[in-house]
Amino acid sequence: MSALELKERLVATRVWQSIFRHRYIDSNRNRALTIFSNVFLHVHPVKVPEKSIRFRHTMCLGGISFALFLVLTVTGVLLMFYYRPSVPQAYRDMKELEFVVSAGAFLRNLHRWAAHAMVLGVFLHMLRVFYSGAYRPPREFNWVVGVLLLILTLLLSYTGYLLPWDQLALWAITVGTNMAAAAPGIGPRFKFLLLGGNIIGENALVRFYVLHCVVLPLAAAVLLAVHFWRVRKDGGVRPL
């Protein structure tokens, strides 16, 4: 039996047809059905205008930033299997990832590089949107959502910085929380809540860990959904 025949038989099975509810007729209607009947694919439009995939207009910067976000999520989850946010275990776990765990150094480095690249990417994306006037009415609110996403990106970088629990981490967080404490009125209280106390200790580490791995990524996911939805509803990415 040839490979083609095997494939034809596979696609005709009840199991396959229960998973994939479309057939393989090449008509516009069936193409639309293929996209709509898939939860992952239906986030995208069935067809896009040729202009919107032209590289030179957007340089794919928003897409690159999102792709980096996915890389960070995947590498981050994998790193979580070997990292414990407690004192002094955190530093030892980081060392273990570097020198003992298979591909640990690679995953950690990829996480770090992707973080820096994502910050760069979102800044370039912001510049591109600004200089191409894509924030003008009716798109002003999406710009605001973008700024919030920028803040979340920077906060993710900041909270992640503490997790290795080394000297660099400690002093970066010292400076950052003291800057926050300088805010009038609520400053000192905000520092106390962020650190879970008066010093940078185990409370601070676990709070930053939860912020870094759960709260901020969830907030980013929600805002990303709004951000992409807005772009789609405004007619997709296209030169104005």
Partner 1 sequence: MDDQDKSQTGSERRRFLWLSGLGALGAASAGGAAVLLDFVHPKVLFEPPTTFRVGRPEDFPVNSVTADYERKVYIVRTEVGFFALSAVCTHLGCITRRMEDEEGIMCPCHGSKFAQDGSLLLGPAPRGLRRIAIRLEEGELVVDTALEVQKDDMLRL
Report if residue 52 touches partner 1, rule: CB under 8 A.
Answer: no
User: Is there binding between residue 214 and partner 1 (CB under 8 A)?
Assistant: no
Residue 150 or 181: the one with the smaller Cβ distance to partner 1 is: 181
Count of beta carbons in the 10 Å neighbourhood of residue 9: 11
Q: Is 12 in the site for partner 1 (CB under 8 A)?
A: no
Q: Which of residues 70-99 bind partner 1 (CB under 8 A)?
A: none
| Shortest distance, position 223 Cβ to partner 1, whole Å | 21
Query: Under rule CB under 8 A, which residues in 164-183 are in contact with partner 1?
Result: 171, 174-175, 177-179
Spatial distance between the Cα atoms of 184 and 232, rounded to a whole number of angstroms: 41
199 lies in the binding site for partner 1 (CB under 8 A): yes
- Closest CB to partner 1 among 127 and 175? 175
Residue 78 near residue 158, CB atoms below 8 Å: no
Report residue 235: phi and psi, to 5°.
100, 15
Establish if 193 lies at the interface with partner 1 (CB under 8 A): yes
Integer Cα distance of 148 and 88 in angstroms: 34
Q: Give the Å distances, CA to CA, from 41 to 49, 79, 148, 185.
A: 17, 28, 26, 48
Q: Which residues bind partner 1 (CB under 8 A)?
A: 171, 174-175, 177-179, 192-193, 196-199, 201-203
